Amino acid sequence: MLLLAGLGNPGPKYAGNRHNIGFMAIDAITRRHGFGPWRKKFQGEIAEGAIDGVRCLALKPQTFMNESGRSVGEAARFHKIAPLGVVAFYDEIDLAPGRFRMKTGGGAAGHNGIRSIIASPVGEGFRRARLGVGHPGHKDQVHGYVLSDFAKADAGWVDKLIEAVAAAAPFLARGEDDKYQAEVMRLAPAEKANPRQTPPQDA
Protein backbone atom coordinates (compact mmCIF):
# COMPACT_ATOMS: atom_id res chain seq x y z
CA MET A 1 0.00 0.00 0.00
CA LEU A 2 1.10 3.56 -0.75
CA LEU A 3 0.36 6.41 1.64
CA LEU A 4 -0.14 9.63 -0.32
CA ALA A 5 -0.09 12.50 2.15
CA GLY A 6 -0.98 16.01 1.06
CA LEU A 7 0.22 18.66 3.50
CA GLY A 8 -1.74 21.78 4.38
CA ASN A 9 -3.86 23.46 7.03
CA PRO A 10 -7.48 22.46 7.67
CA GLY A 11 -10.53 24.64 7.15
CA PRO A 12 -11.83 27.11 4.55
CA LYS A 13 -9.65 29.96 5.89
CA TYR A 14 -6.54 28.26 4.49
CA ALA A 15 -8.00 26.44 1.47
CA GLY A 16 -6.51 28.76 -1.18
CA ASN A 17 -3.13 29.29 0.52
CA ARG A 18 0.16 28.43 -1.19
CA HIS A 19 0.84 26.25 1.87
CA ASN A 20 -2.17 24.12 0.89
CA ILE A 21 -1.08 23.08 -2.60
CA GLY A 22 -0.41 19.61 -1.14
CA PHE A 23 -4.12 19.29 -0.27
CA MET A 24 -5.00 20.49 -3.79
CA ALA A 25 -2.75 17.85 -5.37
CA ILE A 26 -4.22 15.02 -3.29
CA ASP A 27 -7.75 16.15 -4.13
CA ALA A 28 -6.86 16.05 -7.85
CA ILE A 29 -5.37 12.56 -7.53
CA THR A 30 -8.40 11.13 -5.70
CA ARG A 31 -10.80 12.68 -8.21
CA ARG A 32 -8.95 11.45 -11.28
CA HIS A 33 -8.43 7.91 -10.02
CA GLY A 34 -11.88 7.42 -8.53
CA PHE A 35 -10.99 7.00 -4.87
CA GLY A 36 -13.73 6.31 -2.34
CA PRO A 37 -15.35 9.01 -0.22
CA TRP A 38 -13.39 11.01 2.33
CA ARG A 39 -13.78 9.99 5.96
CA LYS A 40 -12.12 10.91 9.23
CA LYS A 41 -9.31 8.74 10.59
CA PHE A 42 -5.69 9.07 11.77
CA GLN A 43 -6.26 12.69 12.88
CA GLY A 44 -6.99 13.50 9.27
CA GLU A 45 -9.24 12.85 6.31
CA ILE A 46 -8.60 9.67 4.30
CA ALA A 47 -9.80 8.24 1.01
CA GLU A 48 -8.95 4.79 -0.35
CA GLY A 49 -8.42 3.72 -3.92
CA ALA A 50 -5.98 2.25 -6.41
CA ILE A 51 -3.65 3.70 -9.03
CA ASP A 52 -2.48 1.38 -11.79
CA GLY A 53 -3.49 -1.59 -9.61
CA VAL A 54 -1.56 -0.36 -6.57
CA ARG A 55 -3.65 0.09 -3.44
CA CYS A 56 -3.36 3.64 -2.09
CA LEU A 57 -4.46 5.58 0.96
CA ALA A 58 -4.82 9.34 0.45
CA LEU A 59 -4.43 11.41 3.60
CA LYS A 60 -4.97 15.08 4.41
CA PRO A 61 -3.80 15.66 8.01
CA GLN A 62 -6.15 17.89 10.00
CA THR A 63 -3.53 18.62 12.66
CA PHE A 64 -2.27 21.85 11.07
CA MET A 65 0.95 21.86 9.08
CA ASN A 66 3.40 21.93 12.00
CA GLU A 67 1.95 18.67 13.41
CA SER A 68 1.54 16.77 10.13
CA GLY A 69 3.75 13.96 11.41
CA ARG A 70 1.22 12.96 14.07
CA SER A 71 -1.32 12.06 11.39
CA VAL A 72 1.09 10.65 8.79
CA GLY A 73 2.97 8.64 11.41
CA GLU A 74 -0.22 7.15 12.83
CA ALA A 75 -1.47 6.07 9.39
CA ALA A 76 1.90 4.60 8.37
CA ARG A 77 2.24 2.70 11.65
CA PHE A 78 -1.30 1.30 11.49
CA HIS A 79 -0.87 0.00 7.95
CA LYS A 80 2.78 -1.01 8.47
CA ILE A 81 3.91 1.16 5.55
CA ALA A 82 7.68 1.53 5.16
CA PRO A 83 9.12 5.03 4.60
CA LEU A 84 9.51 4.44 0.84
CA GLY A 85 5.78 3.75 0.70
CA VAL A 86 5.03 7.25 2.03
CA VAL A 87 4.84 10.16 -0.43
CA ALA A 88 4.36 13.70 0.90
CA PHE A 89 3.02 16.38 -1.47
CA TYR A 90 3.86 19.90 -0.33
CA ASP A 91 4.71 23.49 -1.26
CA GLU A 92 8.37 24.16 -2.02
CA ILE A 93 9.54 27.78 -1.93
CA ASP A 94 12.99 26.83 -3.22
CA LEU A 95 11.49 25.88 -6.58
CA ALA A 96 10.15 28.45 -9.03
CA PRO A 97 6.36 28.58 -9.48
CA GLY A 98 5.09 25.58 -11.42
CA ARG A 99 8.28 23.54 -11.13
CA PHE A 100 8.09 19.99 -9.78
CA ARG A 101 10.74 17.78 -8.25
CA MET A 102 10.74 14.35 -6.62
CA LYS A 103 13.17 13.60 -3.83
CA THR A 104 13.72 10.76 -1.36
CA GLY A 105 15.09 11.35 2.11
CA GLY A 106 17.10 14.31 3.35
CA GLY A 107 16.36 17.17 5.69
CA ALA A 108 13.35 19.43 6.05
CA ALA A 109 14.89 22.51 4.36
CA GLY A 110 12.88 24.72 6.73
CA HIS A 111 9.48 23.17 5.94
CA ASN A 112 7.66 22.56 9.22
CA GLY A 113 5.35 19.87 7.82
CA ILE A 114 8.30 17.85 6.54
CA ARG A 115 10.17 18.41 9.80
CA SER A 116 7.17 16.99 11.69
CA ILE A 117 7.07 13.84 9.52
CA ILE A 118 10.82 13.32 9.98
CA ALA A 119 10.28 13.50 13.75
CA SER A 120 7.46 10.91 13.51
CA PRO A 121 7.85 7.10 13.34
CA VAL A 122 8.19 7.49 9.55
CA GLY A 123 11.64 9.10 9.87
CA GLU A 124 13.42 10.90 7.03
CA GLY A 125 13.47 8.18 4.35
CA PHE A 126 10.11 8.96 2.75
CA ARG A 127 9.48 10.30 -0.76
CA ARG A 128 8.71 13.97 -1.35
CA ALA A 129 6.67 15.45 -4.21
CA ARG A 130 7.79 19.07 -4.16
CA LEU A 131 5.43 21.56 -5.79
CA GLY A 132 7.18 24.83 -6.57
CA VAL A 133 5.42 27.98 -5.38
CA GLY A 134 8.34 30.41 -5.66
CA HIS A 135 9.99 32.58 -3.03
CA PRO A 136 8.85 36.03 -1.87
CA GLY A 137 12.40 37.35 -2.09
CA HIS A 138 13.35 37.64 1.59
CA LYS A 139 13.25 35.07 4.38
CA ASP A 140 11.30 37.44 6.65
CA GLN A 141 8.43 37.41 4.15
CA VAL A 142 8.16 33.62 3.83
CA HIS A 143 5.62 33.03 6.62
CA GLY A 144 3.12 35.54 5.26
CA TYR A 145 3.76 34.44 1.69
CA VAL A 146 2.95 30.75 2.17
CA LEU A 147 -0.10 31.59 4.31
CA SER A 148 -1.49 33.87 1.59
CA ASP A 149 -3.74 32.75 -1.23
CA PHE A 150 -2.40 32.22 -4.71
CA ALA A 151 -2.88 35.29 -6.89
CA LYS A 152 -5.55 35.11 -9.60
CA ALA A 153 -2.76 35.20 -12.16
CA ASP A 154 -1.40 31.95 -10.71
CA ALA A 155 -4.58 29.97 -11.32
CA GLY A 156 -3.52 28.70 -14.74
CA TRP A 157 -0.23 27.12 -13.74
CA VAL A 158 -1.54 25.86 -10.39
CA ASP A 159 -4.41 24.00 -12.07
CA LYS A 160 -2.13 22.57 -14.76
CA LEU A 161 0.41 21.41 -12.19
CA ILE A 162 -2.01 19.63 -9.86
CA GLU A 163 -3.83 17.99 -12.78
CA ALA A 164 -0.48 16.81 -14.19
CA VAL A 165 0.49 15.40 -10.80
CA ALA A 166 -2.75 13.40 -10.88
CA ALA A 167 -2.51 12.29 -14.52
CA ALA A 168 1.07 11.04 -14.16
CA ALA A 169 0.40 9.21 -10.87
CA PRO A 170 0.71 5.68 -12.36
CA PHE A 171 4.47 6.27 -12.59
CA LEU A 172 4.50 7.21 -8.91
CA ALA A 173 2.50 4.11 -7.98
CA ARG A 174 5.06 1.94 -9.80
CA GLY A 175 7.92 3.57 -7.90
CA GLU A 176 9.29 5.25 -11.04
CA ASP A 177 9.88 8.64 -9.47
CA ASP A 178 12.20 9.98 -12.18
CA LYS A 179 9.64 9.14 -14.88
CA TYR A 180 6.89 10.63 -12.70
CA GLN A 181 8.78 13.90 -12.39
CA ALA A 182 9.51 14.02 -16.12
CA GLU A 183 5.90 13.29 -17.07
CA VAL A 184 4.51 15.95 -14.71
CA MET A 185 6.81 18.55 -16.24
CA ARG A 186 5.95 17.37 -19.76
CA LEU A 187 2.24 17.78 -19.07
CA ALA A 188 2.67 21.07 -17.20
CA PRO A 189 5.83 22.80 -18.42
CA ALA A 190 6.64 25.66 -16.07
CA GLU A 191 6.46 29.11 -17.60
CA LYS A 192 9.36 31.47 -17.18
CA ALA A 193 9.15 32.74 -13.61
CA ASN A 194 9.44 36.25 -12.29
CA PRO A 195 13.17 36.63 -11.44
CA ARG A 196 12.17 37.74 -7.95
CA GLN A 197 10.62 34.32 -7.47
CA THR A 198 13.54 32.27 -8.78
CA PRO A 199 15.88 31.36 -5.92
CA PRO A 200 18.68 28.84 -6.45
CA GLN A 201 17.08 25.47 -7.26
CA ASP A 202 18.22 22.09 -6.06
CA ALA A 203 17.47 18.91 -7.90
User: Which residues are known to be catalytic?
Assistant: 19
Asked if 118 and 88 touch (Cβ cutoff 8 Å), the reply is no
Rounded to an integer, what distance in angstroms lies between the CA atom of residue 145 and that of residue 121?
30
Q: Centre a 10 Å sphere on the Cβ of residue 48 and count the other Cβ atoms it contains.
A: 15
Nearest one of 80, 25, 83 to 58, comparing CA atoms = 25
Is the Cα dihedral 78, 79, 82, 86 positive or negative? negative
Pairing of strands 127-132, 54-61: unpaired
Residues across the chain: 203
If one counts every other C-beta atom within 10 angstroms of the C-beta of residue 124, the result is 15
